Structures are given as structure tokens and as C-alpha cells.
């Protein structure tokens, strides 16, 4: 068992698709009046397009691509701040590859690197730590980016740095949390969603209960899902079944990886190192209360915001999203990427206007790359 290919079985998929079709018919979903299911997580968006699931499911099932891509929701001003830090003399700025092409107000990190900043891609915060050990005369900054899945890794790296007394390591913390933007979406009166696919790897850390409010307070089904194609189809099936049966519960399709209560070590590390910010800015969504994390005063020495006086510790720049950009509407499911006036015109993967076109997790990029748009345009 490799816990991956087994969940790509075409035969199982066929059965799931048939079951989904039956359920969709049963609840009267049609192309004109579809059941709208938001996959919150960009990883799920990616899988849906990679395996062409949107084309395979019953036409009454509509996938709405949610805001769960940390790169897509990164405001341009934060990219500018990354560049500001990266361009300081002596700094080695480290980041996951994902953030390299995200446009800031003037440049991306890739372009800042080309212009001379020492910006390096790493696979892990541990690699940034190692860089700091090997370059004691340099200041190594790690760009902490991601939802609850990634947050423990930077927390553990900061704890390790503290243990070693590594004075030249710091994290530019931009970690964000999933439940708050979902609540914001649900509070939007324009919103019409019938159910959710929950991000499996977030729940691997935080468990399934943080989503209880969705079922309890908003009466929407949510199924925490894995990332293989049958995982996703099974989760769709489970959402439809809840709807068909008039239930609204938090279910766990991904039990092989997601413990009900999450991971205790990860949660403890997050709690030790981070605290909630009062509010945090999301690209396309604006400020959302309590949706971001910052480094606690006890670990201030490792906080790049404090060290360099940028971000929430500096003068914050308000930068409106670029004109004509519909990222917010797309991320909240009010618009399909192809409906954005910029899609394929002012905004292409070569020259992205919005972040959704940059990250291969972004709905617009996925539409583009996997041909959703152009195939549709034919």
C-alpha cells in the first residue's frame, strides 16, 4: 500500500460518479440549478482540474473554488514587504517556490531576485534554518506562508532556532487560518453554497471540530477530504448524501490521515509560538477578523516584522487590488474565472494581474492550464 495510487482507481471512480449522479438526480440538481459545492482548498482545485473531475461529475454538481490558497490571498503589499526585507543588505530571504511569481505592486520576488536581492527557494523551513547556521554573518529570513497545515513547521523551526540561540534567523509570518474566511463567506448575504469540501491537510493539524459551526450555525454539510481523485468524488458523494438526507454534519472522508482532534504536538507548537492577530488582510477579501497569526512576544527575536519594522510592525500600505481584477469575486465563488473581464486578456499566466493566475492552486491558473477556459471557448 502506498496510500496514493490506490485512491486513483478508475473502477471506484466510475462507481462514485454513478452514485453522485443518482444523488444529484434525486435532489433535483441540474445544469441550470446546480448544487454548489465549494472546495475550500486550492489543493482540491488542483486535483479537480488535474483529473478533469469537473467534467466527469453530474452536470448538476458545480464546483466553486474557494479561497484556500495561501498564495492567492496574499495582498500585493505583503509581497512588497517581502521584497523590502529581501533587499536589505546582508539578508538572505528564503521562501517556498510558490511565492516567487506572485505579483507585488511593482515586482514579484522572482523579479526582485533578478534585480539583485538574495532570494532563495527552499523546500522546508528546516532548510532555511540550516542556511542560517551556515551563514552566521548573514540574516536569514524565512517567509512563513500558509494555513494551519504549514504553521506547525515554522513554529517548530522557531522553537529550534530559540533552542540553538540562532540570532540570525527570523520568520516573516503571514500564516493565516481557514475557519474565519469561511465564516465571512457564509455571512455574505449574496452567497449561495450548498455544501463544502473541507481541506484535509488543515484538519490533519486542527482536526474536524473547528468546522462544527458550519453545520451547527449555518446548516451546511462539510466533508473533510483527501486529495486523490476518489477521495474528492467520495466527498462529493457524502455531501450530496447529506443534502439528500436533509443532514448538515461535519464528516471525515480522510480518516486515514485526519485524526478527529488533529495533531497535539502541532497544536502545542502553534500555541506556544503564535497568537491571533486582531485582523489580517486578504487579497480580494479585505481585512478579516482574527484570521492571521503573529509571533508571540516571547519569540520576538525571531520575528522579521519586529526585526525590520515592516508589515504590521511597520507603516502599512493600503494597496487596492489592480483595476478590473475580479479575484475577490472569484475566490468567494460569486464569479467563475472566465467571467472575470481580465481573464486571458490583461491577466494570463505569463503576466498575471491577480494571484489566482499565478499559483497553480489558483482557480484562474487552473482554469487556464487545464483548459477549462479555452476548451469552453471553443
Partner 1 sequence: MCLGIPGQIVAITDAGRLMAMADVSGVRREVNVACVAEGPLEDLLGRWALIHVGFAMSLIDEEEAAKTLAALHDLGEAQEALAQMAEGDAALEGRA
Partner 2 sequence: MALRDERVTLAHGGGGTAMRDLIEEVFTAVFEPPGMEDAAQLSAAALAEPGARLAFTTDGFVVTPLEFPGGDIGKLAVCGTVNDLAVSGARPLWLSAAFVIEEGTEIALLRRIVATMAREAEAAGVRIVTGDTKVVGRGACDRVFVTTAGVGVVPPGREMGAGRVRPGDVGLVNGVLGDHGATILAARGDLALSTALESDCAALGHLMEAVLAAAPGARAARDLTRGGLASALNEIAGAAGCGIEISEEALPLRPEVSGMCEILGLDPLYLANEGRLVVFVPEAEAGAALAAMRLRPEGQGACIIGAAVAAHPGQVRMRTAFGGARIVDMLVGEQLPRIC
- Is residue 134 part of the contact set for partner 1 (CB under 8 A)? no
Kindly report the three-state secondary structure assignment for every residue of 55-68: HHCCCCEEEEEEEE
Helix, strand or coil for residue 348? coil
Helices (H), the chain: 10-26, 42-50, 53-56, 76-86, 109-114, 125-134, 151-164, 179-187, 200-206, 212-218, 229-244, 264-273, 304-308, 327-331, 363-369, 372-377
For residue 266, state whether it binds partner 1 (rule: CB under 8 A): yes
| Cα(223)–Cα(248) distance, integer angstroms | 10
- DSSP-derived secondary structure letter, 3: S
Judged by beta carbon, residue 111 or residue 124, the one nearer partner 1 is 124
Which residues ranging from 22 to 51 are in contact with partner 2 (CB under 8 A)? 42-43, 49-51
Q: Which of 356, 360, 370, 372 binds ligand SF4 (CB under 6 A)?
A: 356
User: What is the total count of residues that contact partner 1 (CB under 8 A)?
Assistant: 53
**How many residues sit in the footprint of partner 2 (CB under 8 A)?**
50
3-state secondary structure of 311: helix
Give me the least distance between CB of 330 and ligand SF4, in Å please. Answer: 4
CB of 43 to partner 1, least distance (A): 5
Q: Which of 152, 218, 139, 236 is nearest to 182 (CA)?
A: 218
Q: Is 353 in the site for ligand SF4 (CB under 6 A)?
A: yes
Rounded distance, CA 110 to CA 121, Å? Answer: 10
Kindly compute the dihedral angle of the four CA atoms of residues 170, 314, 69, 196, in this order, to the nearest 10 degrees: 120
SS3 label, residue 36: strand
**Nearest approach, Cβ of 377 to partner 1 (angstroms)?**
28
Binding pattern to ligand SF4, positions 333-352, x when CB under 6 A?
A: ----x--x-xx---x-----
> Using the 8-state DSSP alphabet, how is residue 194 labeled?
-
378 scored as a contact of partner 2 (CB under 8 A): yes
| 152 lies in the binding site for partner 2 (CB under 8 A) | no
Cβ at position 206, least distance to partner 2 in Å? 16
Residue 354 interface partner, choices ligand SF4, partner 2, partner 1, none, CB cut-off 5-8 Å depending on type: ligand SF4
Contact yes or no for 181/286 (Cβ under 8 A): no
Q: Is 304 helix (H, G, I), strand (E, B) or coil?
A: helix
Options 15, 27, 36, 121; binder of partner 2; rule CB under 8 A: 121
Q: From partner 1, ligand SF4, partner 2, none, which one binds at residue 3 (CB under 5 to 8 Å depending on kind)? A: partner 1
**Interaction with ligand SF4 in 315-334: which residues (CB under 6 A)?**
325-327, 330
What is the Cα–Cα distance from 24 to 61, expressed in whole angstroms? 7
208 binds partner 1 (CB under 8 A): no
Nearer to ligand SF4, 311 or 354 (CB): 354
Among the listed ranges 119-127, 134-142, 185-193, 261-269, the one in contact with partner 2 (CB under 8 A) is 119-127
- Contacts to ligand SF4 by CB under 6 A: 325-327, 330, 337, 340, 342-343, 347, 353-354, 356-357, 364
Amino acid at each position: 500500500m502506498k496510500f496514493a495510487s490506490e485512491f486513483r482507481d478508475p473502477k471506484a471512480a466510475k462507481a462514485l460518479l454513478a452514485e453522485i449522479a443518482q444523488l444529484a438526480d434525486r435532489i433535483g440538481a441540474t445544469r441550470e440549478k446546480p448544487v454548489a459545492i465549494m472546495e475550500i482548498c486550492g489543493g482540491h482545485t488542483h486535483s479537480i482540474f488535474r483529473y478533469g473531475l469537473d467534467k466527469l461529475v453530474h452536470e448538476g454538481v458545480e464546483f466553486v473554488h474557494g479561497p484556500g490558497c495561501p498564495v492567492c490571498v496574499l495582498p500585493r503589499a505583503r509581497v512588497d514587504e517581502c521584497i523590502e526585507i529581501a533587499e536589505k543588505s546582508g539578508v538572505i530571504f528564503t521562501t517556498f517556490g510558490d511565492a516567487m511569481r506572485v505579483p507585488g505592486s511593482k515586482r514579484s520576488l522572482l523579479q526582485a531576485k533578478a534585480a539583485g536581492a538574495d532570494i532563495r527557494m527552499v523546500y522546508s523551513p528546516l532548510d532555511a534554518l540550516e542556511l542560517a547556521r551556515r551563514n552566521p554573518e548573514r540574516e536569514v529570513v524565512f517567509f512563513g506562508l500558509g494555513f494551519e497545515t504549514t504553521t506547525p513547521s515554522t513554529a517548530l523551526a522557531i522553537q529550534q532556532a530559540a533552542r540553538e540561540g540562532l540570532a540570525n534567523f527570523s520568520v516573516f509570518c503571514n500564516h493565516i487560518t481557514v475557519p474565519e474566511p469561511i465564516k465571512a463567506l457564509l455571512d455574505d448575504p449574496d452567497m449561495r453554497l450548498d455544501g463544502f469540501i473541507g481541506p484535509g491537510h488543515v484538519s490533519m493539524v486542527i482536526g474536524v471540530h473547528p468546522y462544527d459551526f458550519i453545520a451547527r450555525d449555518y446548516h451546511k454539510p462539510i466533508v473533510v477530504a483527501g486529495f486523490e481523485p476518489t477521495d474528492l468524488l467520495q466527498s462529493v458523494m457524502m455531501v450530496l448524501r447529506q443534502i439528500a438526507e436533509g443532514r448538515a454534519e461535519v464528516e471525515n472522508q480522510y480518516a486515514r490521515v485526519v485524526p478527529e482532534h488533529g495533531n497535539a504536538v502541532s497544536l502545542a507548537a502553534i500555541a506556544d509560538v503564535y497568537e491571533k492577530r486582531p485582523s489580517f488582510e486578504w487579497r480580494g477579501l479585505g481585512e478579516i477578523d482574527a484570521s492571521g497569526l503573529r509571533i508571540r512576544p516571547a519569540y520576538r527575536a525571531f520575528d522579521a516584522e519586529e526585526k525590520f519594522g515592516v508589515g504590521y510592525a511597520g507603516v502599512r500600505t493600503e494597496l487596492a487590488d489592480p483595476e478590473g481584477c475580479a479575484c475577490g469575486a472569484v475566490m468567494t465563488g460569486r464569479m467563475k474565472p472566465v467571467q472575470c473581464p481580465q481573464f486571458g486578456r490583461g491577466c494570463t499566466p505569463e503576466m498575471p494581474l491577480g494571484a489566482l493566475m499565478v499559483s497553480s492552486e489558483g482557480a484562474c491558473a487552473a482554469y487556464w492550464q487545464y483548459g477549462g477556459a479555452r476548451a469552453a471557448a471553443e
